[in-house]
Chains A and B, each alone.
Chain A
């Protein structure tokens, strides 16, 4: 039924196909809950309503200042697309957890919006040195290294995704 709710939401059900899911939605329960969950996901993806206006812009700016932190443009773009194309409807619930968890991890103290006129900003001296491009052979080093990682004992072969992550993009350098 959850799969049907998702398809209903995406306007992929027509006429008679929609009857059963629509009936289910009239009752309170799992179907209604699924409906709310899927709307939460698509709201999060489209940044409408659920979050305060300008929240994601502030978050983008705030996190862009921190080089070590994952940039949320990724979740709006790549992750959202990935989740939407590949994982709905079977994984919509998990996606809700993943995306909502992602939002929840954003810093609690959101600074005021950046003024339109760009005044010179004095950035604090970074604690860490500037970063260079990874070595051209980075993935070769990672492959040689990964076999020793204790993570393999907890995750099997999954951590090897690090050794080929972005491999195609990397080789173009």
Chain B
């Protein structure tokens, strides 16, 4: 089916809404495999739905155990190898909602959204929806959801050649009430280092920075100043087209920055472009093809304000 002929269908948008609703309202436990590049990792996930946004836990089972626990608006990343807890506040990030059900129809400007075939995934009868990119600036997606509950069971990210660059696949899923201990971290973190993001709204233009997505459909959804690794003040601007997001990080150039690592790198579906501008390090990170990430990075300019 050529893109010229294909049209977004209401049934496909309906399935997207169903998936969104299921993710927000259900309690569940499950096991999934995440594949990117040459890597494959198995994780356990659990969620308890409640009136304050729910509690969720992700536990990576391969290699050193790592955990992510989200309680309402606070997200903690537990890294036992370095005895560190990193804390992010999702509340800071929700001031520009990236994707609401009513914005699903906006998505159709840049993706053709259609229903795919029914298949069995994780032993469940599932429906599928395709989001086929209308251009080469973003990826395409295929999502499979449990026909009964709407829970997303499998998600595949495809590049412009139709090759899979990333995949999430549930292998086991139980929907229903979840014991409280399943969403608690197993780590005793009393002597661990805690790194708070401490993000605050920022205005980069005021300090002379010019950043733009310059990609159709990508609009700004966040602009903050925050702590990141060793830097107390890193600026971050985020763009999204409703399905993918790209962040631009700007920080003072670290003393021992290795310039040979400037340029393009990839982690599966995530592309990263690093360059230096006005004695600062610009890092663009996102779920978009390399050319798009690079384009955003090369648009970053600095003009000292008068």
Q: List 26 A-B contacts (CB under 8 A).
A: A68-B159, A68-B266, A69-B165, A82-B40, A82-B41, A86-B42, A87-B33, A87-B42, A94-B169, A98-B33, A105-B164, A132-B274, A135-B274, A140-B228, A141-B249, A142-B270, A145-B285, A145-B286, A147-B75, A147-B90, A148-B222, A150-B242, A154-B155, A155-B23, A157-B47, A164-B60
A149 touches B172 (CB 8 A): no
Partner of B33, one of A79, A93, A141, A169: A79
Q: Which residues on A are within 8 Å of B, measured CB to CB? A: 66, 68-71, 73-75, 78-79, 82-83, 86-87, 90-91, 93-95, 97-98, 105, 128-135, 137-138, 140-145, 147-151, 153-169, 171
Partner of A135, one of B39, B56, B283: B283
Partner of A87, one of B171, B265, B291: B171
A157 touches B70 (CB 8 A): yes
- Taking CB atoms, residues of chain A closer than 8 Å to B34 are 158, 161-162, 165
Q: Does B36 contact A (CB under 8 A)?
A: yes
B171 touches A169 (CB 8 A): no
B266 touches A131 (CB 8 A): yes
Q: How far apart are B284's CB and chain A's nearest CB, in angstroms? A: 9
Instruction: Return the 6 tightest CB-CB contacts between A and B, nearest first.
Output: A150-B99, A91-B171, A145-B247, A157-B56, A134-B265, A168-B64
B37 touches A70 (CB 8 A): yes
A91 touches B123 (CB 8 A): yes
Question: For residues 161 through 188 of chain B, which have their beta carbon under 8 Å from a beta carbon of chain A?
Answer: 161, 163-165, 168-172
Interface residues on B, range: 35 or more
CA distance A98 to B245 in the complex (A): 27
B66 touches A144 (CB 8 A): no
B19 touches A154 (CB 8 A): yes
Q: Does B61 contact A (CB under 8 A)?
A: yes
